A and B are shown apart, each in its own frame.
Chain A
Amino acid sequence: MDVARPPLSMEDWEVRLNEIAEILRGIRPEFDFTLSSDFFTDGMLDSLDLVMLVSALDERYSISIEGTDIVPENFRNIGVIWALLKRCGVKS
């Protein structure tokens, strides 16, 4: 896949990839998010989807992603989403 991979073991990365991909599929089941490096450019997410994604991530990981972090750049692919989750305190 063409997605920047954060420094995780292959096994951990696969777990996170699948977790986040499942959350994304819950919002837009018609797309395979593991194949895209930019969900917005590829037309897979819009601004309302972004809100629903943040809400789903907050709920799944018991965090509150800061409002100032809710910009498309932090959600354009699974790699950057994982990087944001780590900044929010989600453990590997």
Chain B
Amino acid sequence: MNFTFRDKRIAGILTVLPEHEQKFADDMRNFDFPKARSLKLKQVMGYDRHRLVSAGTCASDLAVFGLRHLFEKGLLTPDGLDAMIVVTQSPDFFMPPTSNVIQGELGLKQDLFCMDITQGCAGFVVGLIQAFLMLEQESVSRVALVNVDILSRKVSTKDRNSYPLIGDAASITIVERGTDPSPIYANLKMDGTRREALMIPAGGFRLPSSPETAVPEDVGDGNFRAKDNLRMDGTAVFNFVQVEVPPMIDELLAFAAVPIDQVDWFLFHQPNKFMLQKLADKMKVPHAKMPSNVVEKFGNASGVTIPTAITLNLGERLQSESFQVCLAGFGVGLTWASMLMKMGSMRFCGMVDYPEQGDR
């Protein structure tokens, strides 16, 4: 499905990272894995360190901290928001929505359209599409898109397919009407028949959590995880990305009539360095145009890796410069989505640490 939006822009992005950093070298002590193989894995996949929340920290805590930071710095006014979209797979509760929790904690006005979207690694692009759709209404002139996940709390520490790469983070993206004449192009695809490639099997109504679902099981290759934990079929997900993403980008660029060499940056979701470099090679995009340094420095925080890539690699440059950027997210659902837009003239674009107070 293709989309075209006009007169919309991203006015600012703030990434919120838990200050606790864990080293890959320490993680590997959880596994029966020779040191030489760990080092090779670190080099190829780009694992090095990741940011993780403490046991008591929830998604709304990171989001409230980030929004308060913007209010206190005078970069955003509470009454200036007309809608808030929260994209997360790790909500505070089944009910109420996390967006309402954040609204209540911050005392935001009642005239605020609060919406939760359950999405993962494609969640930044999906959230932007939803924000742009809301901005088609005259009554909506500014939307806060909150992407947040704290999935480290759902990953088995004994699962070396998932634990070393997982990260926790939030981002707040302010989306407004703009005057740049360049349209924004997007496309989106979903395939629920492959939904089991990435899932948390227990904890919903289909399979409620119980003492049995909390028991770690031997799932082969020296990995142990419970049904309460995140499960990723790494081979299936890798193959999905390599098969589906390059043609999606071809289709997007053809739809926008923009040659690939006119794109300044390819800011893609970052599961690991190897997967991104294979995508870049397939698309004949120089590795330097497709940064792959987020998972190495912070871990993979699903929908937050794209805004983290933006704030880490472009940061304050986006306050004075403008770039043609191609965004792409792919993951749970399965969902894959991309967007081509001019990005720049932001009021802010940076990162802030969330101070942890609880125990890990």
Chain A residues at the B interface, C-beta cutoff of 8 Å: 27, 46-48, 50-52, 54-55, 64, 66-68, 70-72
Contact = CB atoms under 8 A, between A and B. Distances in A.
Interface of B: 37, 40-41, 44-45, 160-161, 220-221, 234-235, 238-239, 241-243, 274-275, 278-279, 281-282
A27 B37 contact: yes
Contacts of A55: 40, 44, 274
B258 to A, nearest CB: 23
Contact of B40 (A27, A64, A68): A27
Contact of B242 (A47, A48, A51, A67): A67
Contacts, number: 54
A67 B235 CA distance: 11
Nearest to B280: A64
Contacts of A70: 238-239, 242, 278
Given A46-B221, A67-B278, A51 B45 contact: yes
Contacts of A64: 278, 281
Contacts of A66: 242, 278, 281-282
24 contacts: A27-B37, A47-B161, A47-B221, A48-B41, A48-B45, A48-B160, A48-B161, A50-B235, A51-B274, A52-B40, A52-B44, A55-B40, A55-B44, A66-B281, A66-B282, A67-B238, A67-B242, A67-B275, A68-B239, A68-B243, A70-B238, A71-B235, A71-B239, A72-B235
A44 to B, nearest CB: 11
B221 A52 contact: no
Contacts of A71: 235, 239
A52 B41 contact: yes
A55 B43 CA distance: 10
Contacts of B221: 46-48
A46 B41 CA distance: 13
Most chain-A Cβ atoms within 10 A of its Cβ — which of B40, B161, B220, B282? Answer: B40
B243 A51 contact: no
A48 to B, nearest CB: 6
Nearest to A63: B281
Contacts of B160: 48
Contacts of B279: 67
Contacts of B41: 48, 51-52
Contacts of A48: 41, 45, 160-161, 221, 234
Contacts of A47: 161, 221, 234-235
A48 B238 CA distance: 11
Nearest to A45: B221
